[in-house]
Amino acid sequence: MTDQQQADLRKDEIEAGTTTGLASPSVDVTSDRQNSLWSDAWVALKRNPFFWIGAVLTVVFTVMAIVPQLFARGQDPRACDLANSRGLPSAEHWFGYDVQGCDYLATVVYGARNSLIIGIFAVVVILVLGVAVGAIAGYFGGVTDGVLSRIADIFYALPLILGALVLLRVGPETSIPIINSRGPGAVALALALFGWMTAMRLVRSQVIAVRNSDYVAAARAMGAGNTRILVRHILPNAVAPVLVYTTITIGVIIAAEATLTYLGVGLQRPAFSWGLQIEAGQDAIRSAPHLVLFPSIVLTLTVMAFILMGDALRDALDPRQRA
Amino acid sequence: MGRYVARRLLLTIPVMLGASILIFAMVYALPGDPIRALAGDRPVSPAVVQVLTERFHLDDPLWVQYWEYLKGLFQGDLGTDFRGRPVLDTIERTLPVTIRLTIVAVIFEIIIGLAAGVLAGIRRNSFFDNLVLVSTTVIVAIPILVLAFIAQLLFGLKLGWFPIAGTREGWYSYVLPGLVLASGSLAYVARLTRTSIAENLRADFVRTAKAKGLPPRRIIVQHTLRNSLIPVVTFIGADIGALLGGAIVTETVFNLPGIGREVFDAIRAQEGAVVVGIVTLMVFFFIFFNLVVDVLYAVLDPRIRYD
């Protein structure tokens, strides 16, 4: 790998947030036992309190998304009584009531499902796109790489929210399936379409970094084809940074979904979504601030769960950071 | 260096064209009748429809529409919205608001982010250092939408320190939205500075400075800080490009009439010319400041050479 390629790789990793790029290499070769990257990482993870906070929150919100009934304290978010409109939190109803007089705890709890579905679905699409395009660009290089990288540059120059906003605004008037559905699928696809570039650059850099290594040459000498070399020998090297990026990105996507929904182009009523709840609550921000506060807190905790885990994973998986 | 800048400038052309085509295609290629949307419930005479269709090239294929747009662009004409107001005027009216917001945000990044990062980096593992670590982790994870509402509730309504909407109180009205907009980058600046300083304090040239008996103050300021600030300065530079284009949420929540809110309104109203014009401008800012940063890097760090 030339110095220029090394520098490019660092730059891509820093932009993706999978490393801070500042620590100098310091690998302890005198240690009597050589652990694998993953067992070392697990030892470091176990000691990191941020990782445990993130992991516990993730489990809680995942369970909440699957069986919201467990958290709703027996209330049905669709059983509303206008007499209770904007009722304040009480011992019986922890989060109070919303404008329609629905139990707000139940309403907020039921919002977890859409957030997580969109977060995970979008990230899966981002991974598929990013890994496929990145691997092809990095492995074949030359004109292929030039064209694919310029396309990524174009998407990169458009802010995520802005691109998704335009697509979701015009989406319902088109005949493209899923995109015209106004549902979670449309939001996830729109976010993935404007968010795949970092994953692509990350995979591309890693592929370039190992493409010319001896073991890849050895595999080729043994008669392995392009696909086999890519899948079996090159991509496994990109797993660590991509895993860190993926974890953080689920959080970023969940925040972006709430933002798009708040702006009116994401999920639509009567769906349960924290973005919709914040949007509905902002009109009453003076008289009933709890309507904005509770969905905001839950949204923040969900986003934080993934970002904390991603941060901890990065620190654990980047040997350059270990002093 | 000159050749490098020229090559980079040439490379920005396809990216800018591509980004504007992408937005243009999304806005114009899709069905929907802007004339009907403009007229609302009122009946429109066929003659009016015909004139509007011709003026805005609504019946031509996409590439003809785009070509017409490009021709206008090179003559400094960004087109007009459906009410006949030039897009350029709209940008001239809204851009100063966004620039002011960006200036306030960058000042916050520099003052708070740098100070926190420097103090934390010098006193590694102190109470303050841990405080900076934990608070930056939390701030990064709070969506800007939530942060905006928390700021409005706390500093606007509860404490009454700052106005929560509009620009009536001049620069003062930009303080709260500027802080919200800056928050994520501010936390990143603090962390970047902290790590960078801690790294440089262990560097050989700092050890040499200590060995030859320089006073600690001089070691910190002259030898450590100046080197540590290189990545920070370049991050802030690139961030300016992003801030100038990314303030849709902040401007909407705080009701600031900048380009972010303008483009959001235009997207909702499907005002194609306004959307394409402003987005192209945002892309230009983004690319331009990234180029400036790459050049700046070579100027600040003599180890980096592009030619």
What does the alpha-carbon distance between residue A312 and residue B122 come to, in Å, rounded to a whole number? 23
Nearest CB partner across the interface for B143, out of A22, A173, A303 = A303
- The pLDDT of residue A300 is above 90: yes
How many CB atoms neighbour CB B296 within 10 A?
16
Domain boundary among B50, B74, B98: B74
pLDDT value, residue B31: 55
Residues B112 and B70 occupy one common structural domain = no
pLDDT value, residue B131: 92
What does the alpha-carbon distance between residue A309 and residue A50 come to, in Å, rounded to a whole number? 7
Q: How far are the Cα atoms of A16, A183, A260, A309, B268 from residue A248, in angstroms, in the given order?
A: 10, 23, 19, 8, 30
Domain boundary among B46, B74, B102: B74
Q: Tokens 């009907």, residue?
A: B36
Query: What CATH number does the domain containing B256 carry?
Result: 1.10.3720.10
3-class DSSP state of A98 = coil
**Inter-chain touch B153–A158, beta carbons under 8 Å:** no
Going from N- to C-terminal start, the domains of chain A cover 3-322
Q: Is residue B83 part of a domain?
A: no
Residues B28 and B134 occupy one common structural domain = no
What does the alpha-carbon distance between residue A59 and residue B232 come to, in Å, rounded to a whole number? 36
For residues B56-84, one letter each, b for 16 or more C-beta atoms within 10 angstroms of the residue's C-beta and e for the rest, the string is bbeeeeeeebbeebeeeeeeeebbbbbee
pLDDT value, residue A27: 46
Residues B135 and B160 occupy one common structural domain = yes
At residue A116's C-alpha, the angle toward residues A111 and A122, to 5°, is: 130
pLDDT value, residue B64: 80
A56 touching B, CB under 8 A?
Answer: no
Residue type, A100: Q
Residues B61 and B182 occupy one common structural domain = no
Residues 6+ apart with CB under 8 A from B76: B88
Please count the structural domains in chain B: 2
Residues B103 and B133 occupy one common structural domain = yes
Q: Is residue B82 part of a domain?
A: no
Q: Is residue B261 part of a domain?
A: yes
Q: What is the pTM of this model?
A: 0.86
Residue span of the structural domain in which B255 resides: 90-300
Q: What are the residue ranges in chain B where pLDDT is below 50?
A: none
pLDDT value, residue B246: 60
DSSP secondary structure string for all residues of B11-54: HHHHHHHHHHHHHHHHHHSS---HHHHHHTTS---HHHHHHHHH
Question: Confidence band (pLDDT; 50, 70, 90) for A262?
Answer: very high
How many CB atoms neighbour CB A279 within 10 A?
20
pLDDT value, residue A295: 92
Domain boundary among B74, B100, B122: B74
**Inter-chain touch B149–A255, beta carbons under 8 Å:** no
**Inter-chain touch A166–B19, beta carbons under 8 Å:** no
DSSP secondary structure string for all residues of B145-157: HHHHHHHIIIIII
Q: For residue B19, which residues of chain A lie inside 8 Å, CB to CB?
A: 154-155, 157-158
Residues 6+ apart with CB under 8 A from B43: none
Four-residue CA torsion sign, B43, B45, B46, B52: negative
Q: Which is more confidently placed, A237 or B241? A: B241
Residues B50 and B137 occupy one common structural domain = no
Q: For residue A308, which residues of chain B lie inside 8 Å, CB to CB?
A: 137, 141
Over chain A, what is the mean pLDDT? 84
pLDDT value, residue A92: 76
pLDDT value, residue A35: 63
Residues B135 and B279 occupy one common structural domain = yes
Q: Is residue B79 part of a domain?
A: no
Q: Is residue B81 part of a domain?
A: no
pLDDT value, residue A22: 54
Residues B116 and B66 occupy one common structural domain = no
A169 touching B, CB under 8 A?
Answer: yes
**A148-177 mean pLDDT:** 87
Residue type, B104: V
- The pLDDT of residue A17 is above 80: no
Domain at A3-322: CATH code = 1.10.3720.10
| N-to-C CA span, chain B | 6
Radius of gyration from C-alpha coordinates of chain B: 24
